[in-house]
Protein backbone atom coordinates (compact mmCIF):
# COMPACT_ATOMS: atom_id res chain seq x y z
CA UNK A 1 0.00 0.00 0.00
CA UNK A 2 1.39 3.35 -1.01
CA UNK A 3 1.86 5.56 2.07
CA UNK A 4 -0.24 8.38 0.56
CA UNK A 5 -3.31 6.14 0.46
CA UNK A 6 -4.96 6.97 3.72
CA UNK A 7 -8.31 8.07 2.34
CA UNK A 8 -11.08 5.56 2.94
CA UNK A 9 -14.14 7.74 2.47
CA UNK A 10 -17.22 5.58 3.19
CA UNK A 11 -21.00 5.97 2.85
CA UNK A 12 -22.23 5.11 6.34
CA UNK A 13 -25.88 4.77 7.30
CA UNK A 14 -26.45 5.61 10.97
CA UNK A 15 -30.21 5.20 10.93
CA UNK A 16 -33.20 5.90 8.70
CA UNK A 17 -32.52 9.00 6.53
CA UNK A 18 -29.15 9.56 8.23
CA UNK A 19 -26.41 8.80 5.68
CA UNK A 20 -23.00 10.27 6.41
CA UNK A 21 -19.83 10.41 4.35
CA UNK A 22 -16.98 9.72 6.74
CA UNK A 23 -13.51 8.27 6.94
CA UNK A 24 -12.97 4.69 8.06
CA UNK A 25 -9.59 3.01 8.59
CA UNK A 26 -8.27 1.10 5.58
CA UNK A 27 -8.63 -2.58 6.52
CA UNK A 28 -5.80 -5.12 6.42
CA UNK A 29 -6.41 -8.34 4.47
CA UNK A 30 -6.31 -11.63 6.37
CA UNK A 31 -4.22 -14.53 5.00
CA UNK A 32 -7.04 -15.69 2.68
CA UNK A 33 -8.27 -12.23 1.75
CA UNK A 34 -7.70 -9.50 -0.81
CA UNK A 35 -7.62 -5.78 -0.19
CA UNK A 36 -9.64 -4.35 -3.07
CA UNK A 37 -9.58 -0.75 -4.22
CA UNK A 38 -13.20 -0.16 -5.16
CA UNK A 39 -13.86 1.25 -8.60
CA UNK A 40 -17.63 1.01 -9.18
CA UNK A 41 -20.63 0.25 -6.97
CA UNK A 42 -24.19 -0.03 -8.28
CA UNK A 43 -27.05 1.08 -6.05
CA UNK A 44 -29.67 -1.59 -5.39
CA UNK A 45 -33.24 -1.19 -4.16
CA UNK A 46 -32.19 -2.76 -0.86
CA UNK A 47 -29.56 -0.02 -0.23
CA UNK A 48 -32.29 2.56 -0.84
CA UNK A 49 -34.68 0.67 1.44
CA UNK A 50 -32.17 0.68 4.31
CA UNK A 51 -31.78 4.43 3.84
CA UNK A 52 -35.51 5.18 3.71
CA UNK A 53 -36.69 2.64 6.32
CA UNK A 54 -33.62 1.82 8.46
CA UNK A 55 -34.38 -1.88 8.11
CA UNK A 56 -35.39 -4.68 5.75
CA UNK A 57 -37.65 -7.11 7.61
CA UNK A 58 -35.74 -8.43 10.61
CA UNK A 59 -32.45 -6.86 9.44
CA UNK A 60 -32.38 -3.62 11.40
CA UNK A 61 -29.64 -0.98 11.23
CA UNK A 62 -28.65 -0.83 14.91
CA UNK A 63 -25.04 0.30 14.40
CA UNK A 64 -23.48 2.46 11.67
CA UNK A 65 -23.51 0.45 8.42
CA UNK A 66 -21.53 1.02 5.21
CA UNK A 67 -24.00 0.61 2.31
CA UNK A 68 -23.40 -0.96 -1.14
CA UNK A 69 -22.97 -4.51 -2.39
CA UNK A 70 -22.77 -4.45 -6.21
CA UNK A 71 -19.04 -4.10 -6.52
CA UNK A 72 -16.07 -4.11 -8.87
CA UNK A 73 -12.52 -2.93 -8.23
CA UNK A 74 -8.81 -3.64 -8.44
CA UNK A 75 -6.69 -5.85 -6.18
CA UNK A 76 -4.47 -3.62 -4.06
CA UNK A 77 -2.93 -6.18 -1.69
CA UNK A 78 -2.96 -9.99 -1.58
CA UNK A 79 -3.20 -12.00 1.67
CA UNK A 80 -0.26 -14.34 2.50
CA UNK A 81 -2.02 -17.58 1.63
CA UNK A 82 -4.07 -16.44 -1.38
CA UNK A 83 -3.29 -18.19 -4.64
CA UNK A 84 -4.24 -17.05 -8.14
CA UNK A 85 -4.55 -13.30 -7.62
CA UNK A 86 -2.05 -10.51 -8.18
CA UNK A 87 -1.97 -6.82 -7.37
CA UNK A 88 -3.69 -4.98 -10.22
CA UNK A 89 -6.19 -7.72 -11.10
CA UNK A 90 -9.62 -6.34 -11.96
CA UNK A 91 -12.23 -8.16 -9.90
CA UNK A 92 -15.95 -8.36 -9.14
CA UNK A 93 -16.91 -9.15 -5.54
CA UNK A 94 -19.62 -11.66 -4.74
CA UNK A 95 -21.00 -9.91 -1.66
CA UNK A 96 -22.04 -12.84 0.53
CA UNK A 97 -19.48 -15.06 2.26
CA UNK A 98 -21.05 -18.14 3.88
CA UNK A 99 -19.65 -20.34 6.70
CA UNK A 100 -18.51 -23.10 4.28
CA UNK A 101 -19.18 -25.76 6.98
CA UNK A 102 -22.95 -26.10 7.43
CA UNK A 103 -25.37 -28.47 5.68
CA UNK A 104 -26.27 -25.89 3.01
CA UNK A 105 -22.68 -24.87 2.37
CA UNK A 106 -21.64 -28.50 1.96
CA UNK A 107 -24.55 -29.05 -0.43
CA UNK A 108 -23.59 -26.01 -2.54
CA UNK A 109 -26.75 -24.09 -1.72
CA UNK A 110 -24.67 -21.67 0.29
CA UNK A 111 -27.15 -18.85 -0.29
CA UNK A 112 -29.21 -20.56 2.43
CA UNK A 113 -26.34 -20.61 4.96
CA UNK A 114 -27.59 -19.24 8.30
CA UNK A 115 -24.16 -17.74 8.99
CA UNK A 116 -23.83 -15.70 5.81
CA UNK A 117 -21.99 -12.39 6.06
CA UNK A 118 -23.34 -10.21 3.25
CA UNK A 119 -22.19 -6.70 2.32
CA UNK A 120 -24.52 -3.99 3.64
CA UNK A 121 -26.76 -6.38 5.53
CA UNK A 122 -26.57 -5.63 9.28
CA UNK A 123 -24.19 -6.14 10.96
CA UNK A 124 -21.87 -6.50 7.93
CA UNK A 125 -20.49 -3.37 6.27
CA UNK A 126 -20.83 -2.93 2.52
CA UNK A 127 -18.59 -1.70 -0.27
CA UNK A 128 -19.50 1.96 -0.80
CA UNK A 129 -16.04 2.96 0.29
CA UNK A 130 -12.59 3.25 -1.26
CA UNK A 131 -11.14 0.00 0.11
CA UNK A 132 -12.59 -3.28 1.37
CA UNK A 133 -11.14 -6.64 2.31
CA UNK A 134 -12.94 -9.69 0.96
CA UNK A 135 -12.33 -13.43 1.02
CA UNK A 136 -10.43 -14.25 -2.17
CA UNK A 137 -12.67 -17.19 -3.10
CA UNK A 138 -15.58 -14.75 -3.42
CA UNK A 139 -13.62 -12.45 -5.74
CA UNK A 140 -13.81 -13.08 -9.50
CA UNK A 141 -11.34 -11.85 -12.07
CA UNK A 142 -12.89 -9.82 -14.88
CA UNK A 143 -11.83 -10.46 -18.47
CA UNK A 144 -10.12 -7.38 -19.96
CA UNK A 145 -13.09 -6.43 -22.13
CA UNK A 146 -15.61 -6.62 -19.29
CA UNK A 147 -16.05 -3.17 -17.78
CA UNK A 148 -16.14 -2.28 -14.08
CA UNK A 149 -19.82 -1.35 -14.47
CA UNK A 150 -20.52 -4.76 -15.94
CA UNK A 151 -18.55 -6.21 -13.02
CA UNK A 152 -20.84 -4.42 -10.55
CA UNK A 153 -23.90 -5.56 -12.53
CA UNK A 154 -22.84 -9.20 -12.08
CA UNK A 155 -24.54 -9.02 -8.69
CA UNK A 156 -28.13 -8.39 -9.84
CA UNK A 157 -27.38 -10.44 -12.96
CA UNK A 158 -26.58 -13.37 -10.65
CA UNK A 159 -30.06 -13.00 -9.16
CA UNK A 160 -31.35 -13.32 -12.74
CA UNK A 161 -29.20 -16.41 -13.35
CA UNK A 162 -30.41 -18.06 -10.14
CA UNK A 163 -34.02 -17.13 -10.96
CA UNK A 164 -33.81 -18.67 -14.43
CA UNK A 165 -32.17 -21.79 -12.98
CA UNK A 166 -34.84 -22.13 -10.27
CA UNK A 167 -37.58 -21.60 -12.89
CA UNK A 168 -35.94 -24.20 -15.12
CA UNK A 169 -36.36 -22.10 -18.28
CA UNK A 170 -35.69 -24.38 -21.25
CA UNK A 171 -35.05 -23.74 -24.93
CA UNK A 172 -38.23 -23.00 -26.84
CA UNK A 173 -40.27 -22.24 -23.75
CA UNK A 174 -42.48 -19.22 -23.23
CA UNK A 175 -41.91 -17.14 -20.15
CA UNK A 176 -43.74 -14.52 -18.14
CA UNK A 177 -41.79 -11.99 -16.08
CA UNK A 178 -43.77 -9.82 -13.69
CA UNK A 179 -42.10 -6.48 -12.98
CA UNK A 180 -39.65 -4.54 -15.17
CA UNK A 181 -37.34 -3.25 -12.46
CA UNK A 182 -33.61 -4.06 -12.66
CA UNK A 183 -34.23 -7.61 -11.44
CA UNK A 184 -37.07 -8.26 -13.91
CA UNK A 185 -35.06 -6.80 -16.78
CA UNK A 186 -31.89 -8.78 -15.99
CA UNK A 187 -34.04 -11.91 -15.62
CA UNK A 188 -35.42 -11.12 -19.09
CA UNK A 189 -31.90 -11.00 -20.55
CA UNK A 190 -30.92 -14.30 -18.91
CA UNK A 191 -34.19 -15.97 -19.98
CA UNK A 192 -33.51 -15.06 -23.60
CA UNK A 193 -29.91 -16.30 -23.27
CA UNK A 194 -31.27 -19.56 -21.80
CA UNK A 195 -33.34 -20.08 -24.94
CA UNK A 196 -36.84 -18.84 -24.04
CA UNK A 197 -38.60 -18.38 -27.38
CA UNK A 198 -40.87 -15.57 -26.20
CA UNK A 199 -40.96 -13.45 -23.08
CA UNK A 200 -43.80 -11.21 -21.95
CA UNK A 201 -43.02 -8.74 -19.18
CA UNK A 202 -45.40 -6.66 -17.08
CA UNK A 203 -45.16 -3.43 -15.11
CA UNK A 204 -47.31 -0.47 -14.08
CA UNK A 205 -44.87 2.07 -15.53
CA UNK A 206 -44.70 2.71 -19.28
CA UNK A 207 -41.11 3.99 -19.03
CA UNK A 208 -39.94 0.74 -17.45
CA UNK A 209 -41.83 -1.26 -20.07
CA UNK A 210 -40.24 0.78 -22.88
CA UNK A 211 -36.81 -0.09 -21.43
CA UNK A 212 -37.78 -3.78 -21.30
CA UNK A 213 -38.92 -3.65 -24.94
CA UNK A 214 -35.68 -1.95 -25.97
CA UNK A 215 -33.73 -4.70 -24.18
CA UNK A 216 -35.49 -7.54 -25.96
CA UNK A 217 -38.88 -8.25 -24.38
CA UNK A 218 -41.13 -9.77 -27.03
CA UNK A 219 -44.28 -8.35 -25.44
CA UNK A 220 -44.94 -5.79 -22.71
CA UNK A 221 -48.15 -5.29 -20.74
CA UNK A 222 -49.01 -2.35 -18.51
CA UNK A 223 -51.23 -3.94 -15.87
CA UNK A 224 -52.27 -0.69 -14.17
CA UNK A 225 -56.05 -0.54 -13.66
CA UNK A 226 -56.62 -3.97 -15.22
CA UNK A 227 -58.25 -6.97 -13.56
CA UNK A 228 -56.22 -10.12 -13.04
CA UNK A 229 -58.46 -11.88 -15.58
CA UNK A 230 -57.78 -9.15 -18.17
CA UNK A 231 -54.02 -9.42 -17.60
CA UNK A 232 -54.17 -13.23 -17.82
CA UNK A 233 -56.05 -13.00 -21.14
CA UNK A 234 -53.56 -10.49 -22.54
CA UNK A 235 -50.56 -12.63 -21.55
CA UNK A 236 -52.11 -15.75 -23.08
CA UNK A 237 -53.01 -13.85 -26.26
CA UNK A 238 -49.46 -12.47 -26.64
CA UNK A 239 -47.79 -15.85 -26.18
CA UNK A 240 -50.49 -17.83 -28.01
CA UNK A 241 -50.65 -20.06 -24.92
CA UNK A 242 -50.10 -19.82 -21.16
CA UNK A 243 -46.45 -19.36 -20.11
CA UNK A 244 -44.45 -22.47 -19.17
CA UNK A 245 -42.72 -20.49 -16.43
CA UNK A 246 -43.45 -17.28 -14.56
CA UNK A 247 -40.85 -15.25 -12.68
CA UNK A 248 -42.42 -12.88 -10.16
CA UNK A 249 -40.19 -9.83 -9.66
CA UNK A 250 -42.53 -7.33 -7.93
CA UNK A 251 -43.55 -8.87 -4.59
CA UNK A 252 -47.06 -7.47 -5.12
CA UNK A 253 -49.79 -9.96 -4.13
CA UNK A 254 -51.98 -9.33 -7.20
CA UNK A 255 -48.95 -10.01 -9.38
CA UNK A 256 -48.31 -13.33 -7.60
CA UNK A 257 -51.98 -14.16 -8.13
CA UNK A 258 -51.65 -13.34 -11.84
CA UNK A 259 -48.71 -15.74 -12.02
CA UNK A 260 -50.64 -18.54 -10.27
CA UNK A 261 -53.70 -18.16 -12.49
CA UNK A 262 -51.80 -17.67 -15.76
CA UNK A 263 -48.97 -20.24 -15.64
CA UNK A 264 -49.49 -23.38 -17.73
CA UNK A 265 -50.64 -26.45 -15.76
CA UNK A 266 -47.55 -28.36 -14.70
CA UNK A 267 -45.46 -25.20 -15.02
CA UNK A 268 -43.33 -23.33 -12.51
CA UNK A 269 -43.51 -19.99 -10.72
CA UNK A 270 -40.53 -18.51 -8.92
CA UNK A 271 -41.02 -15.87 -6.27
CA UNK A 272 -38.22 -13.33 -6.51
CA UNK A 273 -40.10 -10.22 -5.40
CA UNK A 274 -40.28 -9.69 -1.66
CA UNK A 275 -43.40 -7.86 -0.59
CA UNK A 276 -45.84 -8.27 2.26
CA UNK A 277 -45.13 -11.14 4.63
CA UNK A 278 -48.55 -12.72 4.08
CA UNK A 279 -50.93 -12.82 1.12
CA UNK A 280 -54.35 -14.19 0.23
CA UNK A 281 -53.69 -16.35 -2.84
CA UNK A 282 -55.57 -18.98 -4.90
CA UNK A 283 -53.52 -21.93 -3.60
CA UNK A 284 -56.00 -24.65 -4.65
CA UNK A 285 -55.62 -23.45 -8.24
CA UNK A 286 -51.85 -24.00 -7.93
CA UNK A 287 -52.40 -27.41 -6.29
CA UNK A 288 -54.89 -28.89 -8.74
CA UNK A 289 -53.00 -27.66 -11.80
CA UNK A 290 -49.66 -28.75 -10.35
CA UNK A 291 -48.13 -25.32 -10.70
CA UNK A 292 -44.92 -25.46 -8.66
CA UNK A 293 -44.15 -22.39 -6.59
CA UNK A 294 -40.46 -22.01 -5.77
CA UNK A 295 -38.52 -19.47 -3.75
CA UNK A 296 -35.45 -17.51 -4.77
CA UNK A 297 -32.92 -16.13 -2.33
CA UNK A 298 -30.03 -14.29 -3.91
CA UNK A 299 -27.84 -16.88 -5.69
CA UNK A 300 -25.26 -19.59 -5.29
CA UNK A 301 -22.56 -20.47 -7.82
CA UNK A 302 -23.94 -17.91 -10.27
CA UNK A 303 -21.07 -15.39 -10.58
CA UNK A 304 -19.01 -17.58 -12.94
CA UNK A 305 -22.05 -18.07 -15.17
CA UNK A 306 -22.91 -14.37 -15.09
CA UNK A 307 -19.32 -13.50 -16.10
CA UNK A 308 -19.47 -15.98 -18.99
CA UNK A 309 -22.78 -14.54 -20.19
CA UNK A 310 -21.39 -11.01 -20.21
CA UNK A 311 -17.93 -11.88 -21.56
CA UNK A 312 -19.42 -13.91 -24.41
CA UNK A 313 -22.00 -11.18 -25.10
CA UNK A 314 -24.83 -13.70 -24.73
CA UNK A 315 -26.12 -11.06 -22.34
CA UNK A 316 -25.59 -7.49 -23.52
CA UNK A 317 -25.65 -5.04 -20.62
CA UNK A 318 -24.56 -2.06 -22.72
CA UNK A 319 -28.11 -0.86 -23.37
CA UNK A 320 -29.12 -0.63 -19.71
CA UNK A 321 -29.85 3.02 -18.98
CA UNK A 322 -27.64 4.41 -16.24
CA UNK A 323 -26.57 7.46 -14.25
CA UNK A 324 -23.17 8.21 -12.72
CA UNK A 325 -22.02 9.81 -9.49
CA UNK A 326 -18.80 10.00 -7.47
CA UNK A 327 -18.46 8.54 -3.97
CA UNK A 328 -18.59 12.10 -2.58
CA UNK A 329 -21.96 12.54 -4.35
CA UNK A 330 -23.51 9.42 -2.74
CA UNK A 331 -26.47 11.28 -1.14
CA UNK A 332 -27.49 12.68 -4.57
CA UNK A 333 -26.96 9.26 -6.14
CA UNK A 334 -29.44 7.77 -3.67
CA UNK A 335 -32.01 10.44 -4.55
CA UNK A 336 -31.56 9.59 -8.22
CA UNK A 337 -31.94 5.86 -7.51
CA UNK A 338 -35.37 6.61 -6.04
CA UNK A 339 -36.50 8.32 -9.26
CA UNK A 340 -36.27 5.02 -11.16
CA UNK A 341 -35.78 6.86 -14.48
CA UNK A 342 -32.69 4.78 -15.23
CA UNK A 343 -32.16 1.08 -14.60
CA UNK A 344 -28.95 1.50 -12.63
CA UNK A 345 -27.25 4.28 -10.71
CA UNK A 346 -23.48 3.80 -10.43
CA UNK A 347 -21.07 5.35 -7.96
CA UNK A 348 -17.42 5.72 -8.90
CA UNK A 349 -15.37 5.25 -5.73
CA UNK A 350 -11.94 6.19 -7.09
CA UNK A 351 -10.16 9.02 -5.39
CA UNK A 352 -9.75 11.93 -7.81
CA UNK A 353 -6.42 13.71 -7.49
Contacts 24+ apart (CB under 8 A), 80-87: 80/31, 81/31, 81/32, 82/31, 82/32, 82/33, 82/34, 82/136, 84/136, 85/34, 85/136, 85/139, 85/141
Sole binder of ligand NAD in the list 174, 208, 232, 244 (CB under 6 A): 208
CB of 10 to ligand NAD, least distance (A): 23
Q: Does 351 bind ligand NAD (CB under 6 A)?
A: no
Sole binder of ligand NAD in the list 238, 296, 315, 347 (CB under 6 A): 296
Q: Rounded to whole angstroms, how far apart are CA atoms 257 and 263?
A: 10
Which of ligand NAD, Zn ion, none does residue 102 bind to, with CB < 5 to 8 Å depending on kind?
Zn ion
Q: Does 202 bind ligand NAD (CB under 6 A)?
A: yes
Using CB under 6 A, which residues numbered 319 to 348 contact ligand NAD? none
Which of Zn ion, ligand NAD, none does residue 129 bind to, with CB < 5 to 8 Å depending on kind?
none
Q: What residue number has its CB nearest to ligand NAD?
A: 181
Stretch touching Zn ion by CB under 5 A, among 19-27, 49-57, 74-82, 107-115? 107-115
Q: Does 153 bind Zn ion (CB under 5 A)?
A: no
**Residue closer to ligand NAD (CB basis): 189 or 249:** 249
Please give the sequence-ordered ranges of beta strands (E in DSSP) within the chain, or none if there are none.
9-15, 18-23, 33-42, 55-56, 59-60, 65-66, 70-78, 90-93, 96-97, 117-118, 131-135, 139-141, 174-178, 198-203, 219-222, 245-248, 268-271, 292-295, 322-326, 344-348
Sole binder of ligand NAD in the list 10, 33, 129, 180 (CB under 6 A): 180
Which of ligand NAD, Zn ion, none does residue 122 bind to, with CB < 5 to 8 Å depending on kind?
none
Question: What does residue 87 show for φ and ψ, rounded to 5 degrees?
Answer: -55, 135
Using CB under 6 A, which residues numbered 263 to 282 contact ligand NAD? 272-274
Would strands 90-93 and 70-78 be described as parallel, antiparallel, or unpaired? antiparallel
Contact status, residue 128 vs residue 68, Cβ threshold 8 Å:
yes
Stretch touching Zn ion by CB under 5 A, among 9-17, 77-85, 105-113, 296-304? 105-113
How many CA atoms are closer than 13 Å to the CA of 316, on its beta-carbon side? 6
CB of 84 to Zn ion, least distance (A): 23
Site residues for ligand NAD per CB under 6 A: 45, 159, 178-184, 202-205, 208, 223, 249-252, 254-255, 272-274, 296-298
Amino acid sequence: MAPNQVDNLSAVLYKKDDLRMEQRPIPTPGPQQLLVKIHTVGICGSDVHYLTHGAIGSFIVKAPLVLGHETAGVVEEVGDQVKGFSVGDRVALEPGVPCRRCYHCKLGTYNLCPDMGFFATPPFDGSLTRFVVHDADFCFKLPDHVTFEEGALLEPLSVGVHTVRRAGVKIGQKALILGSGPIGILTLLVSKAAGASAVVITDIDDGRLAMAKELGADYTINVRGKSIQQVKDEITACLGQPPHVSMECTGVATSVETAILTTLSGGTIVLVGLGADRADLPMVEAAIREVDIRGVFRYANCYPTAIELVASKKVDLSKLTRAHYTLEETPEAFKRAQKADVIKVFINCEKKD
